[in-house]
Structure 1
């Protein structure tokens, strides 16, 4: 598990699961996108939008009641874009053991009020 604080942390609920009690992959990817988006917005000091998601790997299932923590770190910064590596971990409700469940890379572009790309470092 990363040494940093999570970008976002939530508890998986029944509405987020299929009939077998496994959390939908789309729900988990949305959570990861939100966590990466928080990191991107802080770095861009403004709005940043998702333009790509690559290398998604589902390592283990997430169950109803699990606490899900998303960790996100900037891997690369270009003129207008950022690549953010994101990992999601699960922790059973009554346990201290955390397990990596999903990894992905998200690419964000900093945009201005006109929705056009702008430099990440201002401008």
Structure 2
């Protein structure tokens, strides 16, 4: 899978990349089975990738694709959710970020990988048109 770590999800115990978003899963975010909706997870991951993309692009960006999305473990109400982003590639106007959602257990400071995917962001101007990503 492009952009994914070569280790299996169960082998990874330490997040990689930059912490882009941290939140708590709440009762209103649950499905009929009492676990957190996949759509809520995707929305938070998209938000984290947007934050990382805007920082790298030094301005507005938008999501244009989501690749290799995997839901690995369930997220439960009250879980401390952390989303880490790692820049994989920069094109003329696009950026690819490996985005991983981890549950952080504060009592023993451990992390469990719950979802990951590659978000493709495009830098945009005030009119919503693609613009070049600035050089670092």
- Map 1:1-123 → 2, pairs under 5 A: 1-2=14-15, 4-92=17-105, 94-121=107-134
| CA deviation map 1:5-36 (0-9, x unaligned) | 51101010000011322100010010001111
Runs of 4+ in structure 1 off by over 2 angstroms are 2-5, 91-97
Contact 1:66 1:93 in 2 (8 A): no
Aligned to 1:32, the other structure's residue is in SS state helix
| CA deviation map 1:93-113 (0-9, x unaligned) | 655321000000000110101
Number of aligned residue pairs: give it. Answer: 122
- Structure 1 CA distance for aligned equivalents of residues 19 and 56 of structure 2: 16
- Structure 1 CA distance for aligned equivalents of residues 106 and 86 of structure 2: 26
TM-score, normalization by structure 2:
0.84
TM-score, normalization by structure 1:
0.92
Question: How large is the RMSD of aligned CA atoms in angstroms?
Answer: 1.6
